[in-house]
């Protein structure tokens, strides 16, 4: 399912002459691997950043250090800042970012399964989705990947006049 979503994202973006990038924390590169598993992904995917360590989110993606100190890495504003940061860093038209707790232990006072997906796009488009996932570490990471690609696809379809089924 995720591969087909990734293929739809690539196809829509390539048709429009647009690109996207990813910033990943808990997924550790799974979104990028899923996207690059699609033949022709280089037509729209520029790359991404795996910012697993909290300080890298600030140093590389420009997430405000005071936000990270105050809220921790698992927060909706962090997801939004990561998406905006990777978009700026790569020059992509669109960007998605994920931060959350895959487990097995809570992090920053957030329970396992707490995930935030952020999206950044042209015209100051910014969106964050708050997910509450269940399952083991692997399934949380897989579902996060699916939800991030679904988020991007949904926004792309909404901005193209098409509707997802």
Query: Phi/psi class of residue 29: alpha, beta or left (left: φ > 0; alpha: ψ in -120 to 50)?
Result: left
- The reported pLDDT for the residue numbered 2 is 67
Edge-to-edge strand ranges of the sheet holding 94-100: 45-50, 20-24, 94-100, 114-121, 125-132
- The reported pLDDT for the residue numbered 161 is 59
pLDDT < 70 stretches in the chain: 1-2, 161-165
Domains along the sequence of the chain with CATH: 2-158 (3.90.950.20)
Peptide bond into 68 cis (omega under 30): no
Q: Give residues with Cβ within 8 angstroms of 83, minimum separation 6.
A: 23, 95, 96, 97, 118, 119, 120, 126
């Amino acid at each position: 399912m995720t591969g087909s979503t990734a293929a739809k994202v690539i196809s829509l973006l390539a048709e429009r002459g647009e690109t996207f990038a990813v910033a990943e924390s808990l997924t550790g590169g799974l979104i990028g691997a899923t996207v690059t598993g699609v033949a022709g992904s280089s037509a729209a995917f520029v790359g991404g950043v795996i910012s697993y360590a909290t300080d890298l989110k600030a140093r590389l993606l420009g997430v405000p250090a005071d936000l990270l100190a105050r809220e921790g890495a698992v927060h909706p504003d962090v997801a939004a800042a990561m998406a905006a940061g990777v978009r700026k860093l790569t020059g992509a038209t669109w960007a998605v970012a994920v931060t959350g707790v895959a487990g097995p232990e809570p992090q920053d006072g957030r329970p396992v399964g707490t995930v935030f997906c952020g999206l950044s796009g042209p015209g100051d488009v910014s969106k964050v989705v708050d997910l509450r996932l269940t399952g083991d570490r692997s399934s949380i990471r897989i579902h996060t990947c699916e939800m991030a690609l679904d988020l991007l696809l949904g926004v792309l379809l909404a901005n193209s006049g098409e509707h997802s089924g």
